Structure 1
């Protein structure tokens, strides 16, 4: 958590964060709470969110789950000022394109693209009606640097999310609603550990070898380390704040210099 946070920065702001019970999503919920916001998130399987945040039990990979969270946001908060889509990840097996069945593709698209599309469709009309709001979609540098052995479907879904976000920004900007994308590289989270273990299992190697294979595929991280969840959360909070009132329709990469091109 950053050392200096204005506890009134988001006072009176109503924030919905998806994927807010662990990893970067949890850090994002905590950052908005620290800034004085009312925060609502969702979880499935009885997970617990940060203390002080509202929690809805919903599977956002389904249309019904998205509707449940949107309805709860309107009932509990009376509206949404900031909508942050952090939910994402991959459970696809290693083994390249041939290992990706239709069911795997559907699951990756539901988790990484359609969950955002559905919730936007439910909650953005009330932002448009007020003429203000901020939307942040968390994509990934994998849209540019896919790991073909294990993240092809995830990377394609995130590429779709980034392109969708740009189209959305063109539509919503004139209506007072800002839309931006945050694209992290490797982050220290439980999900990154799970990816390492899946690669190790599929190759018969060690977790250390799998971790090195990811670094090799990415071309290394010039900064020397992955990002921490709270660092990504700080960028998200900045983009949602009035300090970023002229930033719109842009992708903001936080990857320690991993992407080698401008």
Structure 2
């Protein structure tokens, strides 16, 4: 999703800086890159300083880092370290980047921050991603409070909550599951069933998330702040 979002914003004329723990594949991204692990304070500090030194600050900040490497087996197998690592990546990365780059937006009285949350904040799956779901719930709550504070100062803050998006990581998961289920199609069906079904009949695409982010970052969404936009093919069963 991060690659799709970066590409979509670059296509719109933005100067884009991305960060990750490893460099993108050659030829896949033409903008600025900072190699860093933003789940750590040191990694965030490196990104913030590079953004300030090379760009003088940012107009749009998209916090897309997320995921879970916690073991399966439910809540009782999760250690303090599992919880802390998940919270560092899915919550503190955004908080620390905001803290470093938001002051410049306030000074200019203009800016947009978009946090990528997850429908798991409302539909937690306990088998392996409970800590992830809790961290994303905290991210959405934090985002709402932040939006109330900084909207009067010209900064809009929203969240996007994807459901099952067919990323490279999702494809790798399907490949692993297909060994057990016998085919990729049956693996995909089983994964969608585990979410309670996707009425649209398919996972979302990274490019679809990128389009939503681009809209929220644009002046077309000038009066939208403090909101969360779900993009899940109808997965969530409640209003």
Distance 2:198 2:159 in 1: 21
Match of 1:5 in 2: none
Match of 1:127 in 2: 105
Q: For 2:226, which of 218, 237, 249 is the aligned residue?
A: 249
Match of 1:182 in 2: 160
Q: For 1:216, which of 174, 193, 199 is the aligned residue?
A: 193
Q: For 1:141, which of 88, 113, 119 is the aligned residue?
A: 119
Are residues 196 and 215 of structure 1, via their aligned partners in 2, closer, same or farther at CA, if it must alter by over 3 Å?
same
Match of 1:161 in 2: 139
Give unmatched runs, 5+ long, in structure 2.
none
Describe the SS at the equivalent of 2:16: strand
Match of 1:28 in 2: 5
- Displacement of 1:225: 0.6
Query: Which deviations, in whole Å up to 9, do the C-alpha atoms of 1:111-148 show, x marking residues without a partner?
Result: 11100000000000010111110000000000011111
Describe the SS at the equivalent of 2:76: helix
Distance 1:130 1:215 in 2: 44
- Displacement of 1:48: 4.2
Aligned residues: CA RMSD: 1.9
Match of 1:259 in 2: 236
Describe the SS at the equivalent of 1:215: helix
Describe the SS at the equivalent of 1:103: helix
Match of 2:216 in 1: 239
Distance 1:212 1:107 in 2: 30
TM-score (norm 1): 0.85
Distance 1:213 1:101 in 2: 28
- Displacement of 1:45: 3.3
Distance 2:190 2:97 in 1: 35
TM-score (norm 2): 0.93
Describe the SS at the equivalent of 2:214: helix
**Matched residue pairs, number?**
236
Distance 1:59 1:70 in 2: 12
- Displacement of 1:260: 1.1
- Displacement of 1:256: 0.5
Where has structure 1 moved over 6 Å in runs of 4 or more?
Answer: none
Which aligned pairs between 1:92-111 and structure 2 lie closer than 5 A? Answer: 92-111=70-89
Distance 2:172 2:148 in 1: 36
Q: For 1:39, which of 10, 16, 19 is the aligned residue?
A: 16
Match of 1:118 in 2: 96
Distance 1:189 1:51 in 2: 17
Describe the SS at the equivalent of 1:38: coil
